[in-house]
Amino acid sequence: MLEIEVIQGDITKLKVDAIVNAANRSLLGGGGVDGAIHRAAGRELLEACRVFGGCETGEARITPGFKLPAKYVIHTPGPIFRDGFHGEPEQLKNCYVNSMKLAEENNCETVAFSAISTGVYGYPKKEATEIAIWAVRNYPVQKVKKVIFCCFGEDMLKIYQDVLKMMAP
Ligand code: APR
């Protein structure tokens, strides 16, 4: 049974097998959690990301964590929210599914997610949280034992806690 935990904190500090970065399609860093992860990981992360030549929305790529306490970083560009009728829910779900797939393929036991697309990309927080929890809960895990949803702000923490309670099995 997959263990799910919700915490408030800075994902760059977590000593887990993989942290999941809310990237953009260039994979060359940016602001928000992407900027924080690149700053903490160091320059080598940018070099490792450059190799991919970008990544489509909903896809995911994995790199070492370099100076981060986490072993790996999984980079996934979330959808830029428009109105919810341009494939955004499916794309956001794919971010979580493809990140879990890479975590499994790399024998990760602990994975921490940032709240993909809920910052600059403007995804409504509650809907994004429902998609995140549903996708992770329904992933057929074999290697992953624990998923941590790492919320930066108090507001996201509360939303995750409320949605988890509402979706309790
Ligand atoms: N640790 C954990 N979560 C964080 C951190 C951090 N250090 N910093 C920010 N966050 C949270 C934000 O509060 C938000 O809930 O990550 C979530 C995602 O927000 P963004 O980082 O803005 O990512 P997103 O909305 O997916 O937009 C992606 O922003 O940073 C650029 O390069 C990135 O172009 C891409 C776009």
| Dist CA 169 CA 161 (whole Å) | 14
Whether residue 90 contacts residue 126, with contact meaning beta carbons closer than 8 Å, is answered with: no
Residues 50-71, mean pLDDT to the nearest whole number: 98
pLDDT tens digits, one per residue of 24-47 = 999 999 999 999 999 999 999 999
In terms of Cα–Cα distance, which of 136, 127, 130 is closest to 84? 127
In this structure, what DSSP letter does residue 11 have? G
pLDDT at residue 88, as a whole number: 98
As a whole number of angstroms, the distance between CA 56 and CA 126 comes to 24
Contact 108, 17 (CB under 8 A): yes
Say what the pLDDT of residue 1 is.
86
Q: Is 21 in the pocket of ligand 1 (CB under 6 A)?
A: no
- Does the CB atom of residue 150 touch ligand 1 within 6 A? yes
Tens-digit pLDDT profile for residues 82-99: 999 999 999 999 999 999
Which positions are annotated as active-site residues? 34
